[in-house]
Amino acid sequence: MMEPTLFLKNLWYFALPGSELKSGKLVQRKILGEPIVFGRDASGKPFALRDNCPHRGVPLSEGTFDGETIQCCYHGWRFDCAGACREIPALADAKLNLSKIRAFAYPCREMHGTVWVYIPENKLNGHGGPAALPDLLIPEDETFLHVDRFLIEGDIDQATIGLIDPAHVNFVHRSWFWRSQKSAKLKEKEFEPFDLGFRMKRHRPSENTKGYSILRGRISTEISFQLPGHRFEHIQVGEKDSVVSITLLTPVDETTTELNHFVYSSLPWIKYLWWPLVRLGRAFICQDVKVFRKLKKGLESHPKVMLVGDPDAQARWYFELKKQWKLAQDTQTDFVNPLSPATLRWVT
């Protein structure tokens, strides 16, 4: 029997907003427990290197960066933005081919103001990464507005289950600006397999969700989830306008997950309500963060837990998708989505 895995490899993970990656500066992140240093090369293209000097393991992020090369703070070894060693100051042997000494370079891409990194399973046997990054659902020349970053005290599995769980909304997000407990209604939604996950088919938003009430005209929404932990909501407003909300989960390590929330809208008047909407969005996500702190306390005693009925179906699907992805990587075969179309019913 295949052992369950916490982290999925050979996938793209969100790293940081592009606005945080300034020219001539280095930014350190831990992703899936791996220390990674990010920067921009002379042309402005982002790069990502293992944040350890191959010599003695000192973090490269502790060194200096002149926009073209990083110099380690310990012995002055210098590396270019592709990870190749360019100089060892103390070395007297001029015949040594320094380019064979490398800091591991992760595939790194920037799109719509977001920076992504590809985490390979095997760093010694190629790491080209897939050609396609996640589809962020907005026009090619547009960028997202970053709402905020939050640290969740839980692993990627717990964070993802919380992200796609419909049953907690009426209790965790009970508030004047979203829903009250008295507004709970029976919901019936149609789902279908989609790419590396599943999606709730396009439908009219629930009447008991106040967050949609500021949008006028014909409104429909489509919500999807994709491995390793990405939730997308595309709201169609009338014939030509849209609002896109994406929540991206990135595992920091086995006990912490980073959540980033981005929003895009083609509606011109949204900019006048932007800061009030950001505050409401932060308040909404902070409610999740608080309940995760409580969940952490409960899980410290390693209780038996369960997934029950339609409200927990999406969580079961997530674990099925993880299992199939890991199997495909282990057997070096194409990923086959194991899910089937389904209609789910719950009260919220």
Please indicate, yes or no, if residue 174 is contained in any of the structural domains: yes
Q: Please report the sign of the dihedral spanned by the C-alpha atoms of residue 193, residue 231, residue 3, residue 298.
A: negative
- Output the pLDDT for position 136: 94
> Is residue 171 a part of any domain in this protein?
yes
What pLDDT sits at residue 175? 62
In-domain check, residue 139: no
Specify whether 101 is located in the same domain as 248. Answer: no
Domain carrying residue 304: 145-347
Low-confidence stretches of the chain (pLDDT beneath 70): 1-3, 125-131, 174-183, 206-217
Do 167 and 67 belong together in one domain?
no
Q: Residue 320 sits in a domain of what CATH number?
A: 3.90.380.10
Comparing C-alpha atoms, which of 246, 257, 334 is closest to residue 295?
257
Assess whether 179 and 216 both reside in one domain.
yes
Q: In the listed set 119, 136, 163, which residue is the last one of a domain according to the structure?
A: 119
Contact by Cβ (8 Å): 245, 263: yes
- Is residue 249 a part of any domain in this protein? yes
**Residues sharing a CB contact under 8 Å with residue 227, sequence separation 6 or more, in sequence order:** 8, 11, 196, 197, 321, 322, 325
What pLDDT score does 82 carry?
A: 96
Predicted confidence at residue 214, as pLDDT, reads 58
Residues 219, 105 share a domain? no
Q: State whether 190 and 275 are in the same domain.
A: yes
Specify the pLDDT at position 179.
56
Q: Decide: 229 and 203 in contact? Cβ < 8 Å.
A: no
- The pLDDT of residue 1 is 43
pLDDT confidence of residue 275: 79
Residue 129: inside a domain, yes or no?
no
Instruction: Give how many domains the chain has, as a whole number.
Output: 2
Helices 156-164, 313-331: axis angle to 10 degrees equals 130
**Residue 74 in domain:** yes
| pLDDT tens digits, one per residue of 53-84 | 999 999 999 999 999 999 999 999 999 999 99
**Domain contains 97:** yes
pTM of the model: 0.91
Whether 130 maps to a domain, the answer reads: no
pLDDT at 21: 95
Burial class (CB in 10 A: 0-12, 13-18, 19+), 176: exposed
Same domain, 80 and 193: no
